[in-house]
Amino acid sequence: MIEVLDGRATTVGDVPVRRVLPRRGRRTVGAWCFADHMGPTPVDEFRGVDIGPHPHIGLHTVTWLVAGELLHRDSLGSEQMVRPGQLNLMTAGRGVAHAEESTGGYRGDLHGMQLWVAQPDATRHGPPAFEHHADLPQVSLGAGEATVLVGEFGDVMSPARADTDLVGIDAVLRAGVSAWGLRPEFEYAVVVIDGTVAVDDTVVAPGQLGYLGLGRDELTVSATDDARLLLLGGVPFDEPVLIWWNYVARTRGEVTAAGLDWNSEGERFGRVDTALARIPSPVPPWQRSSG
Ligand code: MN
């Protein structure tokens, strides 16, 4: 039984996105806790993603492009362009800030995925970090091939950091059917990037999340034409996650404290070297005065 959930259309900068995670009734898939499918949409030097410095806590950001480019700058001093086939993975831990820009010299389509992974208690109070991976391992599928972004798939291991047992792959499919080996102790979901895919017998289209649940050791994927999808999975994340704005926390108090620390421009989140304006942390609803 595959549960198909429709994503929610919104925008990030000038770019339309479909937010397929979290959804009502489905907050996490393993430790994956956020998934925005960006574009495809044309960008140029005047129009694109230009997100000024903003803070994160308690999560990894995973940026994966199918087309276009994004420039990442963070408060650790990292400055890294990410292009299709490359992975940017930033660990927030106790606090980091970054900016993302696309309105440089690139003209063309921007298309990709912005994902977050919740950090477990064991690491979420730890130091921030940034990784860029230009060479990720590939696995041959029955009708296509996959890049292993995070974790292990088909006996191939990604070099990217993972604080919990999880997996993320990008499968580029040709017309045909393939059977994928899965781990029964993982829950899984598929996010279709391009084309239409039948997962077992359930059709999943771009803008949707197909949730597969736990207890499977195999998955049959079929496409009648070229298609592309992400498979996300992991051991169910059993810590009570509170996601608010750019923070992945456990309690309202942690979110409130992060917002105050960011807005007071103290040491915790550091500075990002960019011309873009800082984005202030909004006041959470539980802090708004009622009169
Ligand atoms: Mn961010």
DSSP string, 181-216: E--TTSEEEEEEEES-EEETTEEE-TTEEEEEES--
| Cα 165 to Cα 221: distance, rounded to the nearest angstrom | 23
**Cα–Cα nearest to 92, from 251, 270, 278:** 270
1, 27, 61, 12 alpha-carbon torsion, rounded to 10°: 100
145 Cα: distance to centroid of ligand 1 (angstroms):
29
246 Cα: distance to centroid of ligand 1 (angstroms):
7
Average pLDDT over residues 87-99: 98
223 Cα: distance to centroid of ligand 1 (angstroms):
33
Average pLDDT over residues 34-48: 92
pLDDT band at residue 12 using 50, 70 and 90 as cut-offs: confident
247 Cα: distance to centroid of ligand 1 (angstroms):
10
235 Cα: distance to centroid of ligand 1 (angstroms):
24
Alpha helices per DSSP H over 202-285:
252-263
pLDDT at 291: 52
Domain ranges of the chain: 3-234
219 Cα: distance to centroid of ligand 1 (angstroms):
32
2 Cα: distance to centroid of ligand 1 (angstroms):
30
* pTM score of the predicted model: 0.96
Give the contacts of 267 (CB within 8 A, at least 6 positions apart): none
pLDDT band at residue 288 using 50, 70 and 90 as cut-offs: confident
87-91 sheet: strands from edge to edge:
8-12, 15-21, 32-43, 108-118, 59-67, 87-91, 129-133
226 Cα: distance to centroid of ligand 1 (angstroms):
31
pLDDT at 206: 94
The dihedrals phi and psi of 114, each to the nearest 5 degrees, come to: -110, 115
- 206 neighbors 233 (Cβ within 8 angstroms): no
CATH 2.60.120.10, domain 3-234, yes or no: yes
pLDDT tens digits, 214-229: 999 999 999 999 999 9
232 Cα: distance to centroid of ligand 1 (angstroms):
20
